[in-house]
Amino acid sequence: MGQPNNNPFNKIKCATGSVITAVPTNGGVSIVQGANTLFTFPMNWFLPVNIYQYKEFVLAANTSPASGVSSMLLEACNTTNDNGEDSAVLISVEYPDYDVSNELVPTDEKYIKYTYGSQTLNIGKVMILSGTNKAGSGWDLVSSPGGMLLENPHSNFSVRVRVMIIA
């Protein structure tokens, strides 16, 4: 067995009060509860990176087109493959522990929204979108209506976002 898990950011508290922990393993991550391994997620995949773009920024509180506070539009900037698409979009979001009123930010409030095409969904802490180099199977951040829009719907805290777009 390896080193003890001292990382405070990989524990998931369940509604029942039990704790589920993500533990790094050889080539993956195991989800464990006590002495029981619930699931092992393989992470030994390879993603060829020919061209990439990295962005890091703060997404202000209450950002949306309706609020008048600028949202962040992710667009491909010379990263597309021969099909005009990106093969992966990786997004990591860092949430504060406390909001502007010094109140604890509840776990169920730690999300932002993204819109791609006509669909709007939530992002928690990490989102990895992968595709292929096959035409129509990647992420069209150039012409698929206006790229990917990131919004922070919360009025009481900002978030730090890191994005990597891979062709």
Q: For 7-65, how does the pLDDT look when each residue is reduced to its tens digit (9 = 90+)? A: 444 555 555 555 666 666 777 777 777 788 887 777 766 666 777 788 898 999 988 66
Arithmetic mean of pLDDT over the chain: 76
Rounded to whole angstroms, the Cα distance separating 21 from 156 reads 29
Name the residue ranges covered by the structural domains of the chain: 8-42, 52-166
% of the chain at pLDDT higher than 90: 25
143 contact partners, CB below 8 Å, separation of at least 6: 84
Q: How many CA atoms lie within 13 A of 6 on its CB side?
A: 3
Confidence of residue 124 (pLDDT cuts 50, 70, 90): very high
Q: Is the pLDDT of residue 158 over 50?
A: yes
The domain defined by 52-166 folds into: Jelly Rolls (2.60.120)
Q: What is the pLDDT of residue 153?
A: 92
Rounded to whole angstroms, the Cα distance separating 88 from 2 reads 32
Q: Is the pLDDT of residue 93 over 90?
A: yes
For the residues of 41-77, what is the DSSP string, one character each? EE-------SSEEEEEEEE-TT-BTTTTB--EEE--S
Q: Is the pLDDT of residue 109 over 60?
A: yes
